[in-house]
Amino acid sequence: MSRSRSKQMLKKLSIGTVLVLAVLSLLAFAAFSDQEILRGGVLRVITNNISSNSSNPFLAAGQNLPGTHSMVYERLFYVNPVSGDETSLLGVSYKWSEDNLKLTVKTRQGVRWSDGEAFGAKDVAFTFNYIKEHPALDLSAIWGGGLEKVEAVDDQTVVFTFSAPNTPLFTYLVSQAIAPEHIWAKIDDPVTYTNEKPVGTGPFLLDSYSLQQFASYVRNPNYWMEGRPYIDRVNLKFVQDNNAQLMMMLLNEADFTYLFVPDVKKTFVAHDPAVHASYWPVYNDNLLYLNTAKKTLDQVAFRKAVAMAIDKKAMSEKIYYGDAGVADPTGILPSQLNKWLSADLKAMSYSYDPDGARKVLKDAGFSWDTNGNLLGLDGERLPVFKILVGAGWTDFIGMAQIISKNLEELGIKTSIDQESWGGYIGGLQNGTYDMAICWGTGDGPTPYYFYYKMLSPQFSATKIGETALSDYSRFTDPAVTAALASYRATSDFAVQLDAIHTIAQVVLENVPFIPLTDRPNFSCYNTSTFVGFASDENPYNDGCGPNQPGAEMMYLNVHLK
């Protein structure tokens, strides 16, 4: 080659190399930057929770427009009930004092309310003191649990002072929606105030609403989290009928819903597995409550035998198509078993064993008559036990039918008693039921919350007719009460684990209630337009409905495909 030509070639080569390097570096930048997340879009959500035009952060989620607790108002931390993980929202850090009598929380800087006013620790202190002033707003019993004082020591620090330690109260404290002092201080009757123009710190603002039809929320341009939310708007459509909801999801007319679909994997996901998905994490159990205040049901052996005679696997498969598994006899959730269920307890547990059930009854002194009917300890025929369920609740009725059949084989006669809401809850709380199928009355990131509600003396009663607020079985045990108190008083995991161990052991030995199946949340979604939903692979929330606090995580994470 001539000299000039090779020079030209070299020039071309070097220019080419520079170009290639430039392009490669741009690609690298793109790969690591946020550029690839598309912004904008309108998320379409279906909800069957019809509410009035109320956006009152002091009322429960179900009494407000769907975005009140999940889009407009925020809390200090989001505690994921399934995993126990804490996400920092309006609070950035917290610390318990040595004696667990003081909780110091640092609040976030640079947050503004949607009307422009600055957010500060004073709003947090105000919110809690406001609840103290108006007890009708204290839906989580915050002020009954040993809390004495809440004050803002400076613009970014809130101190909660306790008269008696109660570390589990933390979950309820940090989950309380925070309201702006400059607006609510002027409102005299917060219980009936509908707050139609809500001012919050959250990622969205209420835009429009139509009774029984829609609620629409638009992106908050001044939201404190950098770059979020990705989407422009959320339209929530109220659809009452389950079938209509399912059809809309199948046609991809909506992106997200909270819906119990029978056999969801086959009915919904299989329809279009590339985009249809379901995320059903377990947050509670379905249990068979036994009224330990009634004759025969007060015998441990009888309860144990009943527990061993029930085929829970059949329930899981026939009623829930395997979408909800068998519950652990301690009542501890599957996601919490690893951490909280000690190995020695597993050995004390029981499983489906009808022959073993017979043996337990025989050893305790029960006998059968010539027709195979079980006789009481006094030799008398047992009464027909009624299994209480809600009227028309096909899953509970199905479970009751399986129980009925299982107990028939043991010689115990039962009948199914369907009651409407008022009669059902009344029967449970007044202790007029024999056996009843119901969900767990408490749930949270650790088994404490479940055991607290199910076994604490203040929620129980002894006489039939007296109200048991949540310990429907009316079973209490001094060891359990002491263990609950020791759990409350500490933030040391070892002590807490020991307390749970004690309680779980009492539950296994005394069988005050029989956990039947898991109770999952029912989030269903499609990824044809938006991605970033919570899933089993990415469980950043508990798969809750679109009006619950956990849904805020979803609204912040989803973005256009």
Collect all residues with Cβ–Cβ distance below 8 Å to 470 and sequence separation of at least 6.
Answer: 441, 442, 453, 454, 459
Write out the H or E segment, with its range, that includes residue 309.
Answer: helix 300-309
Residue 259 in contact with another protein, rule: CB under 8 A: no
Min. distance of Cβ 38 from another protein in angstroms? 20
**Long-range CB pairs of 403-408, under 8 A, 24+ apart, other chains included:** 403/288, 403/310, 403/435, 403/437, 406/309, 406/310, 406/311, 406/354, 407/306, 407/309, 407/310
Site for another protein in 180-209 (CB under 8 A): 191-194
Nearer to another protein, 74 or 443 (CB): 443
**Phi, psi of 528, deg, nearest 5:** -75, -35
Q: 161 is written with which tokens? A: 């002072």
- Binding residues for another protein restricted to 499-558, rule: CB under 8 A: none
Does the footprint of another protein cover residue 140 (CB under 8 A)?
yes
Question: How near is the Cβ of 264 to another protein at its closest, in Å?
Answer: 18
From 43, 45, 59, 305, residue interacting with another protein (rule: CB under 8 A): 59
Using the rule CB under 8 A, is 270 a contact of another protein? Answer: no
Q: Number of residues in contact with another protein, rule: CB under 8 A?
A: 60
Residues facing 234 on adjacent strands: 43, 217
Distances (CA, A) of 41 to 77, 114, 231, 275: 27, 22, 5, 17
CB of 390 to another protein, least distance (A): 9
Helix ranges (H only) for 56-213 are 121-133, 169-174, 181-184
Beta bridge partners of 418: 389
Three-class DSSP category at 367: strand
The candidate with the shortest Cα–Cα distance to 218, out of 38, 37, 34, 41, is 41
247 scored as a contact of another protein (CB under 8 A): yes
Tokens linked to 526:
């499609």
The phi-psi region of residue 431 (left if phi > 0; otherwise alpha if psi is between -120 and 50; otherwise beta) is: left
Please enumerate in sequence order all residues whose Cβ is within 8 A of that of 367, keeping only pairs 6 or more positions apart, or say none: 374, 375, 379
Pairwise CA distance, residues 351 & 344, whole Å: 16
Q: What 8-state DSSP symbol labels residue 271?
A: G
Q: Near another protein by CB under 8 A, which window of 13-21, 67-75, 243-251, 265-273?
A: 243-251
- Binding another protein (rule: CB under 8 A), the pick from 8, 52, 349, 351 is 52
53 binds another protein (CB under 8 A): yes
Q: Does 146 bind another protein (CB under 8 A)?
A: no
Stretch that binds another protein, among 210-218, 339-347, 494-502, 552-560 (CB under 8 A): 210-218
Tell me the sheet residues that pair with 161. 102, 149
Cβ proximity to another protein, 53 vs 87, nearer residue = 53
**129 touches another protein (CB under 8 A):** no
Reduce the DSSP state of residue 147 to 3 states and report it: strand
For another protein, the closer of residues 116 and 422 by Cβ is 422
Mask: binding to another protein, 82-121, rule CB under 8 A, as x and -? ----------------------------------------
* Least distance to another protein, CB of residue 349, Å: 24
Helix, strand, or coil (residue 159): strand
Cis peptide bond N-terminal to 478, omega within 30: no
Contact pick of 10, 20, 28, 244 for another protein (by CB under 8 A): 244
Interface pattern 401-440 for another protein (x via CB under 8 A)? -------------------xxxxxxx--x---------xx
- The residues with which 385 forms a beta bridge, in sequence order, are 414
Closest approach of Cβ 295 to another protein, in Å? Answer: 25
Write the DSSP assignment of 405-418 as a string of letters: HHHHHHT--EEEEE
* Contact track, another protein, 278-297, x by CB under 8 A: ------x-------------
Q: Does 241 bind another protein (CB under 8 A)?
A: yes
Where does this chain touch another protein (CB under 8 A) — which range of 60-68, 176-184, 269-277, 493-501? 60-68
Instruction: Note the residues at the interface with another protein (CB under 8 A).
Output: 50-54, 56, 59-63, 135-141, 144, 191-194, 210-214, 216, 235, 237-241, 243-244, 247-248, 250-251, 253, 284, 420-426, 429, 439-443, 453, 459, 469-470
